[in-house]
Chains A and B, each alone.
Chain A
Amino acid sequence: MESSKVIHAFYNDDEILLDAVKAVKAEHHQIEEIFCPFPVHGLDKAMGLAPTRLAITAFFYGCTGLAFAIWMTNYMMIEDWPMDIGGKPSFSWIENMPAFVPIMFELTVFFAAHLMVITFYMRSRIWPFKEAENPDPRTTDDHFLMEIPVKDNVEELTALLTKTGAVEINVVDKH
């Protein structure tokens, strides 16, 4: 059952936040989301988030770019219009391969980099006119916010979060 209310607990130090995450996880409460002004090392591990697979997609995008470059140079320079340009051997692709390597390298990097970035944008749901999902403007400056869904345990959660060093605890309606 989806709860309609969430607790917003504010912290003002990343070390305190990390300890709080561990304490909350130890009590088996579900952490919905954490908002930080900057990357906190070890936060993903403390929250138990799965590792990213972005690097794996980049590898396959790179392979695609390499294949595209090989196909393109072979089609243009060898198959479609093989010309004698300054004595370069255009009888087969492999004979003229060294001349194509700079293109192959650059296209591999181009595909890997750009497609990975686009993948990142799509998976993170970021685009130019996207409405910001920030629950409190202070989280982009100097506060850390932990969001925990409420079942019937507001008292218990508040006590726990106070103990972990939260500087402010609000129960709000889920937007």
Chain B
Amino acid sequence: MYQFSGKLKMLSFALIIFGAIGIGVGFLSTPGSVDDVKEMLSQESSQEDGHESTNQDASVNDHNESTKVIGLDHGDAVHGEHDDEHAEHVYHQLKNRPWSAVYVSLFFFLGISLLVLAFYASQRVAQSAWSVVLFRVMEAITANLVPTSIIMVLVILSASVFHWNHMFVWMTEGTFDPTSENYDAIVDGKSWWINATGWTIRGIVYLAIWNAYRWYIRKNSIAEDTANDNNKTYKKNYNVSVGFLFLFMVTETLMSWDWIMGLDPHWFSTLFGWYILSSLLVSALTVIAFVTIYLRSQGALPGVNDSHVHDLAKFMFGFSIFWTYLWFSQFMLIWYADIPEETTYFVARFEEYKVPFLAMVVMNFVFPVLLLLNSDYKSIPWFIVIGGVVILGGHYIDIFVMVMPATVGGQWYFGFPEIGAVLFFLGIFIYTVFSSFAKANPIPKGNPFLKESEQFHYYNIEHRGESSGDHH
């Protein structure tokens, strides 16, 4: 049995505390009222006057065009009203920032745990033998689904029922009311789907389905160890996993519409669900590889050899390309046809998020492909760690660039709330995953494919610490 070390526990607590402080600083440093924002903007514009408008912040400029505000440095009476509108707009964006920072990290960690669960189910359904020794690692990672789901429910409720945040523009009062000045006919046409009641219920239903499967399969997987019932428990777990995979594909697609695409209610894309899936799946496999490499280095995974690590790296490599394929397919189709209602999505991202938008493609595609192409490198832990850190960073940015342009627009920055949220959820991840791993036998003894998994050998890998007699 694995012992969750006190040092690691301290680390996770420290991360949670520092993260919470960072998030708190983020919430406290938002402007208190629209007047504060006006003051801030007038300071900015007076600085710009000093520089004869040559050093104007590019993002502010683009923003002006999109909202038809003529310019900050024309403070005369004619444009005073527009300035008020602009200040209010910026005020809402700044108010959204700490919420969005938490939301990006929350979605990232929730999604990773969810996709580890889905990958685990797929391994059971495929009756794959190689991954059986990794089952307990995957089960442990899915333990993080519980706290992230609880926090997600709180975010869903605070956004829809209590209106504490304004990340989702369609939740603004009067969006569906033709007499209101906030009325939006396009969104109103979709109100049969995006309405606060349906959105809240759907979100809670998705989380309930995922957590129900996780709870059931974890319980029954441990029961499998001592079952001795002619694989009856194993077959039951197989059947439940088939059902879950079906429900997962449906709920994952709907979830990506509700939680991410819903941030831009005027925009739509058909392969969006797959795109979110690929981004989270490659991150999930990277996390499995990380936890496996760590636990193996602690001697907690006796059945895992270099071939298992090699296969995980191969999945990281393959799904990095799959992500790039979907990312490019979505981008290129929209870029090529250039239909205004679709193109605005990428214009906003390319104008205001150019560095993360382009860096993400390098981090998620070019780097892992070149690093993990060589078969020998795929079983060397530190190569996988370097590649994995870049992949995880890249996919965090991916989620960041999906969420932030819709909620904070040009007011984005990577500071206290963003870093705080990552640390906060990382701390929760470490605590839940390793305490869960310590609670069960690291080897799933009752699985009929266990022996095959322990002897798994990919043909061109020389395992470290094995002589040639161990092969064949």
Q: A42-B471, A42-B472, A45-B468 are in contact. Are A98 and B459 (CB under 8 A)?
A: no
* Residues of the A chain whose Cβ atoms lie less than 8 Å from the Cβ of B338: 87
Name the 4 nearest CB pairs between A and B, nearest first: A42-B472, A98-B332, A98-B335, A41-B459
Q: How many Å lie between the Cα of A45 and that of B468 in the bound state?
A: 9
Q: Is B377 an interface residue (CB 8 A)?
A: no
Q: Is A101 an interface residue (CB 8 A)?
A: yes
Q: A41-B459, A59-B373 are in contact. Are A99 and B336 (CB under 8 A)?
A: yes
B contact residues vs A (CB 8 Å cutoff): 328, 331-332, 335-336, 338, 373, 375, 459-460, 468, 471-472
* Residues of the B chain whose Cβ atoms lie less than 8 Å from the Cβ of A59: 373
Inter-chain contact A98/B472, CB cutoff 8 Å: no
Indicate which residue in B331, B336, B472 contacts A41 across the interface (CB closer than 8 Å): B472
Q: How many Å lie between the Cα of A111 and that of B419 in the bound state?
A: 44
Closest CB in chain A relative to B271 CB, distance in Å:
16
Q: A87-B338, A99-B336, A101-B328 are in contact. Are A18 and B460 (CB under 8 A)?
A: no
Q: Is A51 an interface residue (CB 8 A)?
A: yes
| Given A41-B459, A45-B468, A98-B335, 5 more pairs with CB closer than 8 A | A51-B460, A55-B375, A87-B338, A98-B328, A99-B336
Task: Name 9 interchain pairs, CB-CB below 8 A, sorted by A.
Answer: A42-B459, A45-B468, A45-B471, A46-B472, A55-B375, A98-B331, A98-B336, A99-B336, A101-B328
Question: What is the chain A residue whose CB lies nearest that of B375?
Answer: A55
A contact residues vs B (CB 8 Å cutoff): 18, 41-42, 45-46, 51, 55, 59, 87, 98-99, 101
Closest CB in chain B relative to A84 CB, distance in Å:
14
Give the interface centre of A45, A46, A55 by most chain B CB atoms within 10 Å: A45
* Residues of the B chain whose Cβ atoms lie less than 8 Å from the Cβ of A98: 328, 331-332, 335-336
* Residues of the A chain whose Cβ atoms lie less than 8 Å from the Cβ of B472: 18, 41-42, 45-46
* Residues of the A chain whose Cβ atoms lie less than 8 Å from the Cβ of B459: 41-42
* Residues of the A chain whose Cβ atoms lie less than 8 Å from the Cβ of B375: 55
Closest CB in chain A relative to B458 CB, distance in Å:
11
Q: How many Å lie between the Cα of A46 and that of B338 in the bound state?
A: 59
Closest CB in chain A relative to B67 CB, distance in Å:
26
* Residues of the B chain whose Cβ atoms lie less than 8 Å from the Cβ of A42: 459, 471-472
Closest CB in chain B relative to A59 CB, distance in Å:
7
Q: How many Å lie between the Cα of A45 and that of B459 in the bound state?
A: 10
Q: How many Å lie between the Cα of A18 and that of B471 in the bound state?
A: 12
Give the interface centre of B332, B375, B459, B472 by most chain A CB atoms within 10 Å: B472
* Residues of the A chain whose Cβ atoms lie less than 8 Å from the Cβ of B331: 98
Closest CB in chain A relative to B365 CB, distance in Å:
12
* Residues of the B chain whose Cβ atoms lie less than 8 Å from the Cβ of A45: 468, 471-472
Q: How many Å lie between the Cα of A87 and that of B335 in the bound state?
A: 12
Q: How many Å lie between the Cα of A55 and that of B338 in the bound state?
A: 40
Q: How many Å lie between the Cα of A99 and that of B471 in the bound state?
A: 49
Q: How many Å lie between the Cα of A59 and that of B373 in the bound state?
A: 9
* Residues of the B chain whose Cβ atoms lie less than 8 Å from the Cβ of A18: 472
Closest CB in chain A relative to B132 CB, distance in Å:
22
Question: What is the chain A residue whose CB lies nearest that of B328?
Answer: A101
* Residues of the B chain whose Cβ atoms lie less than 8 Å from the Cβ of A41: 459, 472
Closest CB in chain A relative to B401 CB, distance in Å:
17
Q: How many Å lie between the Cα of A59 and that of B460 in the bound state?
A: 18
Indicate which residue in A46, A51, A55, A101 contacts B332 across the interface (CB closer than 8 Å): A101
* Residues of the B chain whose Cβ atoms lie less than 8 Å from the Cβ of A101: 328, 332
Q: How many Å lie between the Cα of A45 and that of B466 in the bound state?
A: 15
Closest CB in chain A relative to B1 CB, distance in Å:
36
Question: What is the chain A residue whose CB lies nearest that of B370?
Answer: A59
Question: What is the chain A residue whose CB lies nearest that of B332?
Answer: A98
Closest CB in chain A relative to B292 CB, distance in Å:
26
Q: How many Å lie between the Cα of A55 and that of B376 in the bound state?
A: 12
Question: What is the chain A residue whose CB lies nearest that of B334?
Answer: A98
* Residues of the B chain whose Cβ atoms lie less than 8 Å from the Cβ of A87: 338
Q: How many Å lie between the Cα of A55 and that of B375 in the bound state?
A: 10
* Residues of the A chain whose Cβ atoms lie less than 8 Å from the Cβ of B335: 98
Closest CB in chain A relative to B328 CB, distance in Å:
7
Q: How many Å lie between the Cα of A41 and that of B338 in the bound state?
A: 53
Q: How many Å lie between the Cα of A51 and that of B338 in the bound state?
A: 50
Q: How many Å lie between the Cα of A98 and that of B338 in the bound state?
A: 12
Closest CB in chain B relative to A103 CB, distance in Å:
12
Closest CB in chain B relative to A88 CB, distance in Å:
8
Q: How many Å lie between the Cα of A18 and that of B460 in the bound state?
A: 17
* Residues of the A chain whose Cβ atoms lie less than 8 Å from the Cβ of B373: 59
Q: How many Å lie between the Cα of A46 and that of B460 in the bound state?
A: 13
